[in-house]
Amino acid sequence: INFLDIKLLNDNGSIIFNLYKKPTDSGRFLNFFSNHPTIHKKGVGLLDKILFLSHPKFQHTNIDSLINTLLRNGYPLQFLFKTINNRIKTLSRKKNFDTINEHNLNSNMTTSTEKKKFFTIPYLKGMSEKFNIALNKFQFELVYKPMNNLNRFIKTGKDKIKKKELSNVVYQINCKDCDYSYVGQTKRKLKTRLKEHINDLKKPVNSLSVISNHRIDTDHAID
């Protein structure tokens, strides 16, 4: 059974897990030569996913697959080996993998009372690293953000609908001369309902709306 990124398998009556990739998986990750800090490229999320979510019998194959995928994204083999080995050594220093989550929870509870100072800057290769060193003595946690991304140049969202074209809305009509306001609700387009309010102002006195009555009684202007 495939569920999200996990494949559930029946192993002689026991359920074991392996990673699952959708047919649409592109294998594209942050390119090694992109203008991002090295700490982002050393992210261990993909490796941790293998170690924590897949059965040991699948881990060797999954790590090989991960290395091949990252090689296609420009990562040097030596960089990958070093990062993977360092992460595995870090995990091996724990009692076992099952206690890592508990350890992280306890660590978070211990440090939650300490106020961290965060400072966000655009990432400029070479300059940002020097700035990070300078801020260390002030106990700042430096967070990098990319200067340019496709979202700034490519807008894929739908065209914004004008307010008067909206339907199923709650609207408010204010008086220009006092704090009086009328709140209404309509399932039709807002412009249709507003047009009805405007027409109400032209009706005979005996069929005036609440808004029209207020205008006549106070001689105020309606917004």
- This prediction has a pTM of 0.49
* Cα separation values, 221 from 35, 102, 179, 195, 213, Å: 58, 65, 12, 16, 12
Q: Which pLDDT band, with edges at 50, 70 and 90, does 180 fall under? A: confident
Contacts (Cβ under 8 Å, ≥6 apart) of 80: 67, 70, 71
Lowest-confidence pick of 18-27, 42-51, 89-98, 173-182: 89-98
Task: Give φ, ψ of 200 to 5 degrees.
Answer: -60, -30
Rounded Cα distance, 159 and 217, in Å: 42
107-162 tens-digit pLDDT: 554 444 556 677 677 776 767 777 676 666 767 777 777 766 666 667 666 677 78
pLDDT greater at residue 83 or residue 220? 83
